[in-house]
Amino acid sequence: SQQGEEDPQALSIQEGENATMNCSYKTSINNLQWYRQNSGRGLVHLILIRSNEREKHSGRLRVTLDTSKKSSSLLITASRAADTASYFCATGANSKLTFGKGITLSVRP
């Protein structure tokens, strides 16, 4: 069964704008991770946030986690055309990493 559900399913923005993607989940987790997938390729790990953390930064990425609302957001600032990809959240719980269905981000040059 899918644990994380991303929102929106698709997002189209102009280069330079910020992109915000959301993930909701249903049960308690140990951590939440975000991955990127370029078309036809494997996934690349972006960032991991543990259940006792509320915010984490990595370069142009900012991730927040609200365990009371069972939700997370991924913010990509100053987007670039190269950020065009699918983004997945994955929740670590019960000795399992479960992926959502993904968000398709298109960044227009």
Contacts with other proteins by CB under 8 A lie at 1-2, 30-31, 33, 35, 40-45, 48, 88, 92-93, 95-102
Phi, psi of 95, deg, nearest 5: 60, 30
DSSP label at residue 19: E
Question: By three-state DSSP, how is residue 109 classified?
Answer: coil
Q: How far is the CB of 1 from other proteins (least distance, A)?
A: 7
Q: How far is the CB of 17 from other proteins (least distance, A)?
A: 26
Q: How far is the CB of 4 from other proteins (least distance, A)?
A: 9
33 close to 100: Cβ distance less than 8 angstroms: no
